[in-house]
Amino acid sequence: MGIFEGKKGLVFGIANDRSIAYYITQELAKEGAEMGFTHLPDKDPERPKAERKLRKLVEPLGAKLIMPCDVTNDENVDKVFAAAKEEMGELDFVVHSIAYAPIDDLKGNVYDVSRDGFKLSMEISCYSLITLANRARKILKPGGSLLTLTYLGGEKVIPGYNVMGICKAALESAVEYLAHELGPEEIRVNALSAGPIKTLSSSAVKDFDKMLKLYETFAPLRRPSPPEEVGKMGMILLSDYSSGVTGENVHVDCGYHIMGAPPESVHASE
């Protein structure tokens, strides 16, 4: 019997089969979880591309709910939680795997970021966790778990990550404040800091391939973390195996984040 047998949750953020949320979903499904999913609203109802892509991935896993949701739209978010309550009842977990910055703001220097671009990036990449947490706390059971995805660029300067680094720093702080506030309600809130993984979102980050290559020389395990490892840790952070863990930022990056200087092997090869 899987450790998520009889457990239910919502997953926000599957765009395609490379999405980190999809890797977490697959691990949860293997363990018997029942899940509802959201996709970005399709602009053309005749050609519902986002919905179709999501359906293809999650219907074989027995999806209980598939709905459009743009996190900048309160009505969308309310509808998802109302439908989840109606169709699934109380929940055990919520996955928030969402980020966005307008491409010009992401590619440019931080000092050049536009006011509107900054607001939108923060709203989608950070405030959305807060607004989901506010709805989730009303239908999560005691022992419930909320998980978001972050990146080292929120803690340290990663050239090219730019405005998204600022969003991730705010997101990581939000995780701590939410963990503090929701702890007495027996709800845990954690972040998983994944190393670089090729996805739709990361393709917008400048020099992403170079960053990936660095892991082969700098990371203690001398490799980047494949998305399957992120999926497994995501599942663990949503499970009872992590029942004493909250407000945490767990790195799944083969140890890259602990390094303050290159390993000796780099100097030896110079």
Verify whether residue 256 is a known catalytic residue: no
**Among residues 93 and 100, whose Cβ is nearest to ligand NAD?**
100
Minimum CB–partner distance for residue 150 and ligand NAD (Å): 6
The reply to whether 36 sits near ligand NAD by the rule CB under 6 A is no
Are residues 119 and 184 in contact, defined by beta-carbon separation less than 8 angstroms?
Answer: no
Q: Cα dihedral sign for 41, 45, 50, 52?
A: positive
Longest CA span, the chain: 63
- 185, 233 Cβ separation under 8 angstroms: no
List the one residue from 72, 118, 122, 257 that touches ligand NAD (CB under 6 A).
Answer: 72
By beta-carbon proximity to ligand NAD, the closer residue of 78 and 90 is 78
Name residues contacting ligand NAD, limited to 37-56 (CB under 6 A): 40
Q: Within 13 A of 88's CA, how many CA atoms are on the CB side? A: 28
List the one residue from 26, 121, 145, 202 that touches ligand NAD (CB under 6 A): 202
Rg (CA), the chain: 18
Alpha-carbon span 26 to 4, nearest angstrom? 12
Cβ of residue 28: shortest distance to ligand NAD, in angstroms?
15
Residues with active-site annotation: 151, 161
Contacts to ligand NAD by CB under 6 A: 13-15, 19-21, 40, 69-72, 97-100, 124, 149-151, 194, 196-197, 199-202
